[in-house]
Chain A
């Protein structure tokens, strides 16, 4: 088990006589192997017998260890409240145990109790200031409560405490795009540091053999841990549905642990579907090799649950990144990245990608709105002007609040409508309100909603909003698409990173380029222009949906053809390189 060979450890454990230690170790192995259901069954069973026993907490260390194991599985398998109860009781008995408080905080996070988690982590760190894992966990609390800059500092602390651990560098690379001071160059440097630590013996050349026939049918495969999310499916589904099957055989390697109706829809559009959530990187790589994939697409980048460990080696001759991540992978084994010239203007950003950029002429994504999207409802002119954003808190950076505050100052009658479940936590709520107050915006001008909505209700929320304000430096691309679909114009501040130009790419294609601006003062000016022209807003409300339908965002066949042609061209180039190598 120390060598992380959990499967072998499980076999060994089966031969041991029953004991608390054996059960606890088995739970740990199952958890490490990602066998959630089996782990949960076992945890429930152990917990039932624990409840019927007469022990009390703190009496027996082995027993406490087992309870901790049970609680962690509960926390991860949808029973976070029970996990919190168990760990709280254990913390009460051992108040100076930093590791226990860390685990309690973890359970609280899984129960979306970020305030409590923050408190526990602060206490854990006061007891043990060098606990890198606690900084990392605190960072996730900060992110979820809208304090990304503070989260980055925690990741930095963790990374300096464990300089050889690439995991924290990966977090830094990922979240640097969300910070107010985001910068492509820094992101590139951090990603390069990660790559050197994570894969010191990187593969630079493809040794994967495939029949190098330029025009044969190609096996494409998409790897994602997010085939359960609308944000991914709205672009992936129309692509899969329209890729030529004469030219391409399409597979999906789904690494999600929580498949849902969206996963089913994606599965229905694939020629081959593989559930790989429980597979290790090594096993996934074997599957990919076995399936003889020609072109492998990464849709996760450095986000949680990514499979860059698979992409670090050449499991397919061509490896390409697309869609799910805004910056470079940092891996030379991923040769290309699909983007467009608005999101990544030519020559400006190329040097900060380890991949060669493929710029699709008609944009790097397409859009398929929710079939059950509600109708657009007209706004009455007499109603209060409502600016709004339904973005996640982690995107609401200081810079975003600067933009929004400028707009609110310029429009003293307007209110800002925000909806986010996490704002139910006091720390998140207080932080957000305070940020606006610092900028002279009273709490009364913020309409904050916290209830969770289903996708239809979420879209219907736009019927309450006159002008959608985008986030920066990480644009909320899907919120932009949804807002436009619901007839709400979006104003976006663009920067020099891909993440800060996502909405510009969409607005450009929707013929609304003027609403993607590069200066704070222009942001306010555009919002004011829309605010002061109710006729224009009504016109846009009435016509935006048809405008989106007519633009390249919803020309699915054209998008799939262009996407396919770009892949084919790179495949032909690879074939040519093989031919030259053989000569």
Chain B
């Protein structure tokens, strides 16, 4: 009997085997003839008989993928790839689907397997770079994108990713260089040029002449000459209507400078905030301030929006970088147009006026919620504090700070960079100057106190951090650089009555820091000085700003 059973079983097996063979042949034929629905049905039938059939999984995946049924394809793709480990089509496309489904680790595994088996191609290396970036493995991602460009130097997407990664990890010079390369590949793509200008400026690599030329060229290329609005909107007689175009700005700038001013101004001025930053910031604006999410509008649509909102004065807070709106302002969408706070100190259109200059020596006003009670510093603590390091540092800054540390036996430098990738890069770059832990650290709990010396970034200032350090009673040493982003803190220190902490030359920066340490007993800025400087007289500041926005002089 067992023999019969076996015979019967064998007979069944033979039947099902021939049925399976027939099904597979039909499925493959359907797929080859591009009858994809039929191929999907037949392969599904086949998978019911044998879920681990390699060929059926392959046909099902391929047919689903080619029918744009990506989610279904992705669900069986893992198994299909496992059973068909040598199929380029399955491995690559499943990797792409995994990437789209935000499962980068699985995608990276498939791509590595592909590359190991078949060698490198630009496409696979690029996809691997994307997967590794999503995983957060920046160094591997950089290598993969670099390799993509080795294989295909015209791969603009890889060049873009590489530039972004350098920027994210605070490698300013490399980011500027890579954006420069990117614009060779995308010469008519305004953001490639904008991002180059932004990084080139904050890396401190540009001279003022160079930057002016670069920005003028940006305007010449991208601002349409024949599309300016011929007539100004008639100024609102009762209440001035001002549009603030908020680009990518640090959160601290928003909460400490811009938002308090808008709330204060809103009593007398009708305010529209065009919110372009895709990152969500807590707005905390007064209810009568209108907020328009403009990030989805293209420049033409945005220009029409401002015109239809009948804005009298527009203030750009973004300059030339991601989300740059200078094309819109170049079309003269409002009677008065200003650039303020976050810019390069020069604009792509002569239709934009620098508001900061109009404010004169009382340029800043802060409204911070933090507790600013002075805390006496620990006199035993031999520590310097570096601020505005979160976007990375220029080589000149690192070199100068390394020279300072070199002179100070037993001292360390605490940097305020919080991003691990930026911290890693900074560690590597300081190490080139023989500066290693514990000479540098990134302790967020260690903050400057009264009597401490704070080092401001030489090429890319951040006034909120400078102000915070001053309020805590520390001395801040700043270089008055050649370009606007390197002149902000010197303006703030001068406004606060501590122009003596500003130096005009890189070489004097070191001696100023060493001198402050040697002298000891740093005299903090007193409350009287703060009062005189009007650094937190928001009402007065708003009045002056109102006058400028209305076309009058500040004072």
Q: Identify 24 residue pairs between A and B in the complex whose beta-carbon atoms are under 8 Å apart, listed by A's number.
A: A126-B216, A129-B219, A150-B210, A153-B200, A153-B210, A153-B214, A156-B183, A163-B184, A181-B174, A185-B146, A188-B150, A188-B153, A190-B153, A193-B154, A196-B153, A196-B154, A351-B150, A402-B399, A438-B505, A438-B506, A439-B506, A439-B507, A440-B507, A440-B511
B184:A156 contact, CB within 8 angstroms:
yes
**Interchain CA distance A212-B327 in the complex, whole Å:** 64
A129 pairs with B220, CB closer than 8 A = yes
A:109-168 near B, CB below 8 Å? 122, 125-126, 129-130, 149-150, 153, 156-157, 159-161, 163
B149/A189 in contact, CB under 8 A: yes
Interface residue count on the A side (C-beta < 8 Å) = 36
Most chain A CB atoms below 10 A, which of B173, B184, B510: B184
Among A150, A159, A437, A440: residue with most chain B CB under 10 A: A440
CA distance A437 to B511 in the complex (A): 13
Q: B507 near A437 (CB under 8 angstroms)? A: yes
Task: Report Cα–Cα, A196/B154, bound state, in Å.
Answer: 9
Q: Are B217 and A157 in contact (CB under 8 A)?
A: yes
| Majority-rule SS of B interface residues | helix
Looking at chain A's contact residues, is the secondary structure mostly helix, strand, loop, or mixed?
Answer: helix
3 smallest beta-carbon distances between A and B, as pairs: A440-B507, A192-B153, A160-B187
Smallest distance from the beta carbon of B212 to chain A beta carbons, Å?
A: 9
CB-based contact A130/B150 at 8 Å: no
Residue of B nearest to A351 (CB): B150
Q: Which of B177, B217, B506, B511 is the one whose CB lies under 8 Å from A130? A: B217
Count of residues in B whose CB is under 8 Å from the partner chain:
36
A186: Cβ under 8 A from any B Cβ? yes
Chain B 502-522 interface mask (CB, 8 Å, partner A; 1/0): 000111001100000000000
Please, which residues of chain A bring their CB within 8 A of the CB of B433? 520-521
Q: Is the pair A440, B217 in contact by a Cβ cutoff of 8 Å?
A: no
Interface status of B82 (Cβ within 8 A of chain A): no
Q: How far is the CB of B241 from chain A (nearest CB, A)?
A: 34
Knowing A129-B217, A163-B187, A181-B174, the reply to whether A156 touches B146 (Cβ < 8 A) is: no
Tell me if B123 counts as interface (CB < 8 A to partner A): no
Given known pairs A150-B210, A181-B173, the reply for A129 and B183 (CB within 8 Å) is no
In the docked arrangement, what's the CA distance between A539 and B281, Å?
A: 69
> Nearest Cβ in chain A — how far from B178, in angstroms?
9
Measured in the bound complex, the distance between the Cα atoms of B206 and A150 in whole Å is: 8
Supplied contacts A129-B216, A440-B511, A520-B432, 6 more A-B pairs, CB within 8 Å: A129-B220, A130-B220, A163-B187, A189-B150, A190-B153, A193-B153
Q: Mark B201-226, 1 if CB is under 8 A from A, else 0.
A: 00001110110011011011100000
Q: How far is the CB of A202 from chain B (nearest CB, A)?
A: 14
Contact with B along A300-339 (1 / 0, CB 8 A): 0000000000000000000000000000000000000000
> A186-208, CB under 8 A of B: which get 1 and which 0?
10111011001000000000000
B246-305 interface (Cβ within 8 A of A): none
Taking CB atoms, residues of chain A closer than 8 Å to B221 are 130
Residues of A whose CB lies within 8 Å of any CB of B are 122, 125-126, 129-130, 149-150, 153, 156-157, 159-161, 163, 169, 172, 181, 185-186, 188-190, 192-193, 196, 351-352, 402, 437-441, 519-521
In the complex, whether B459 has a CB less than 8 A from a CB of chain A is: no
How far is it, in angstroms, between the C-alpha of A439 and the C-alpha of B506 when the chains are bound? 7
The answer to whether B184 touches A169 (Cβ under 8 A) is yes
C-alpha spacing A44/B220, complex, angstroms: 40
Answer whether A440 and B183 are a contact pair too, CB < 8 Å, given A125-B213, A521-B434: no
Q: In the complex, A159→B192 CA distance in Å? A: 14
Query: B180 at interface (Cβ–Cβ under 8 A)?
Result: yes
State the Cβ distance, A216 to closest chain B Cβ, in Å.
39
Are B217 and A122 in touch, CB under 8 angstroms?
Answer: no
* Residue B385 is within 8 A (CB to CB) of chain A in the complex: no
B160 at the interface (CB under 8 A from A): no
- How far apart sit A186 and B166, CA to CA, in the bound complex (Å)? 14
Q: In the complex, A351 Cα to B216 Cα: how many Å?
A: 39
Contacting residues, chain A, for B505 (C-beta < 8 A): 437-438
Instruction: Check B541 for interface membership: any CB of A closer than 8 A.
Output: no
A351 and B217 CA atoms in complex are apart in Å by 36
Q: Which residues of B contact A149 (CB under 8 A)?
A: 205
Contact residues in B for A520 (Cβ distance below 8 Å): 432-433
- Contacts A150-B207, A153-B210 given; indicate if A519 touches B217 (C-beta within 8 A): no
Question: Cβ of B338: which chain A residues have Cβ within 8 Å of it?
Answer: none
**In the assembled complex, B181 has its CB within 8 A of some CB on chain A:** yes
List chain B residues, Cβ under 8 A from A437.
Answer: 505, 507
Minimal Cβ-Cβ distance residue in B for A440: B507
